[in-house]
Structure 1
């Protein structure tokens, strides 16, 4: 009793239990029946029962939750203050950029430097109305044709001849009829716009041409319909010339007439493929015709199942490099037009930029162009015999092994002379 106490035992009750008269001592004599029954009825009282905690949140946990809630509110408040603190700086930076762009836009387009065009483009990218409506190629060129106009207060702007973007000031939608709806429409501030890039398709649609009434002195960026149309024509002509040059650079199309090349140019789509992507699998029809602009492809042929003589177990499919394709080369013409399975697997060795033509578009060409393509184009690679593939595979494996030996010998020689690559002695 006086020794080490055990947690969970009611020692006063244990002493009272041990003091029952009639219990046996040291196992010498038997306990009486009455003492035994009394002991069995009372022995459970020597164990302390845990206190029952009523349902609810303990005060300690409640305080922790309250503390966590206060901490979260403090963090949210701090973040809100940080945003509010940064907001004036962002607004100031935006206003400075707009001012720089306005100064550049007030120059004639021919007088704008490359730096001016970059400032204008950076400003235009801030406004979603431009970045979401215009393709990237047009957005990059729009800075060279846009102009800025300054309008005094209470002047009417007609939006039928171009696209107008608010840089400073505000305007309110206005119609010739002066309807009540105009009074309920919100004002158009910085970043807002009216008008359109292209003329409306129909003037009889029932919609009145949109106009705007200036509420203060305004600086407005304008893109005229004629300027935008000229920009689209220039981009289309440049794109057409690039695709035409891409086809002409391939060896099979050097002597083609211009009319037939134009037919193919209209069908080409430019696409970029990452390195190590399988473009064509051996035994399958090519999924497109490709004209390589930049990058390189590797052509592989399977050499079947090889049994490793050392292990005598495990079968692996090996491939041998039969050719490489680079710039100014094409593939897939014969496979697509004649639906012939490809005799090799084509994998991109580097990032590949190519112009591709889908099979559906190619088959819709006129018969003269298709016949001309079948006469001039050749299969991407011929099917090698098993003996040729095996010889080429052995040659490439020996070349790899020899390169490995040279690298190892050179590395050992440098190491024994105390030379580390990139560090010297």
Structure 2
């Protein structure tokens, strides 16, 4: 073994920055392999060397006395390593091999460790096992719930949750509605109203058939909760639309719901007939009753559409018929204003009188069309008159062309060519719908498009003067497109495409011949400010 005043280090790797890092046996062995001479350093001599190096780096003048002393003492720095130090190095090297083999032994032994029984959350009800049911003792400690459920293991592999069943979504939606509806409508935020609308969609509530989907969030803002703390209390369904959140009810009359299109005289005759056995029918959680349109000539406290609570603490979600009526009037006025603003942005309708604009806006409907959908097909009648509120559409025309094959032969092919674009405020289909003419082009959405449309059925409801005004104000959208224009446009687009293709081929050939590698060398992107600062700091460290 070496004395405490010396440190076993290779001479060629001695440095004042690496003394601490080379103190471990692993680094000693690694560095000793790359060294040409192995030596023992004396700490007293080493301190003088470090002192001289610091003086040289600081720019101080080294006295001649210290220089001569260094030349005299430097040979004493080297000492032959005796056999004992060589044995220490071999022992250290052998210990490294032992560590690697020990790691392998430990990894093999981990396989033989006893398995633990993890506690897993059971998200879905397991199916009934038709085989023999074993007790926990007979199953053993290695039994894991969902052991043979492939969906469970796939969710663990991808670190995701098992998809919830409809019953779980239904229960979660009911819990959210009960907690959110406890807040008064004027105290709820827009986000909370949105959560109420999402809960109704998740549970696939029957209310969605009676509510406008476009204004579902606005309708959620007027929803309230009614709580009936006692049994055998009457709930008057003519006051609004209800959905059961907790408890059960029995109907007093049938039917229990009324749509806007229902015939009142046939379904709800006077006097209101009552059920002989109300307990024969039961309204449970998630069921709906009542109406959004109050029955004419009936009191709001009439027995029609009414229910009787069967237990205390019944909770109901209520959308008042009067509040819904006032809300729809406000939304209709706002919607009418949006349609008028859209008509004024369209050049064909900008100079129309206000009376005609109001009439045509009253029959307009909103339509959302995704990207890539064909709205109008060439050589067919347009399905409606459309005005683009947002998004863009492309107009295509099919032309007959001659295509040159690689063999030099030519063949006839049909090709679709873009002849124009429809943006915000553009309209189409007026002449085709009114006169029943075939469309001269196809219209395809290039982005998601929001349209205001007028169907042929709605057009018949308009005043004949307004219909003639529509016909006189509009011309074919792409009436300037004829065979001569198509020929010139096709030649221009094909020439441009061939030029770009030829230019690209020349550039690629130059790159290959010049052995240019885009993205490297002088063709690389200039470094950003952050990269320049990082490179500068690296140079300063060196």
TM class by shorter chain equals 0.5 to 0.7
What does residue 122 of structure 1 align with? 198
What does residue 359 of structure 1 align with? 456
What does residue 51 of structure 1 align with? none
Following superposition, the deviation at residue 253 of structure 1 comes to: 1.1
User: Contact 1:292–1:327 at 8 Å: present in 2 too?
Assistant: yes
- Could you tell me how far apart the structure 2 residues matched to 1:287 and 1:189 are? 44
User: Contact 1:138–1:231 at 8 Å: present in 2 too?
Assistant: no
- Could you tell me how far apart the structure 2 residues matched to 1:387 and 1:186 are? 74
Residue by residue over 1:200-250, the C-alpha shift from the partner in whole angstroms, topping out at 9 and shown as x without a partner, is 35659x984523135112222222110121232233333333333322221
Following superposition, the deviation at residue 145 of structure 1 comes to: 0.4
For the pair 1:199 / 2:294, whether they are aligned, the reply is yes
Following superposition, the deviation at residue 340 of structure 1 comes to: 4.1
What does residue 190 of structure 1 align with? 285
What does residue 431 of structure 2 align with? 334
Q: Which moved more, 1:405-414 or 1:375-384?
A: 405-414
Following superposition, the deviation at residue 395 of structure 1 comes to: 0.9
How many residue pairs match? The answer is: 346
What does residue 417 of structure 1 align with? 516
Classify the secondary structure of the residue corresponding to 2:340.
Answer: helix
For the pair 1:169 / 2:247, whether they are aligned, the reply is yes
Classify the secondary structure of the residue corresponding to 1:251.
Answer: coil
- Could you tell me how far apart the structure 2 residues matched to 1:105 and 1:269 are? 32
Following superposition, the deviation at residue 403 of structure 1 comes to: 3.3
Q: TM-score, normalised by structure 1?
A: 0.67
Distance 1:169 1:330, change over 3 A: same
Distance 1:252 1:414, change over 3 A: farther
What does residue 141 of structure 1 align with? 218
Classify the secondary structure of the residue corresponding to 2:238.
Answer: coil
What does residue 227 of structure 2 align with? 150
What does residue 60 of structure 1 align with? none
Alignment RMSD (CA, Å): 4.1
What does residue 62 of structure 2 align with? none
Which of 175, 188, 191 lines up with 1:112 in the alignment?
188
What does residue 346 of structure 2 align with? 250
**Which residues of structure 1 form unaligned runs of 5+?**
1-70
User: Contact 2:207–2:288 at 8 Å: present in 1 too?
Assistant: no
**Which residues of structure 2 form unaligned runs of 5+?**
1-127, 135-144, 150-161, 254-271, 526-542
Higher-RCO chain (CA-CA 8 Å, sequence separation at least 6):
1
User: Contact 1:293–1:327 at 8 Å: present in 2 too?
Assistant: yes
Residue by residue over 1:318-340, the C-alpha shift from the partner in whole angstroms, topping out at 9 and shown as x without a partner, is 44433221111011223333444
User: Contact 1:276–1:349 at 8 Å: present in 2 too?
Assistant: yes
Q: TM-score, normalised by structure 2?
A: 0.54
For the pair 1:395 / 2:492, whether they are aligned, the reply is yes
Q: Which moved more, 1:334-343 or 1:137-146?
A: 334-343
Following superposition, the deviation at residue 298 of structure 1 comes to: 2.3
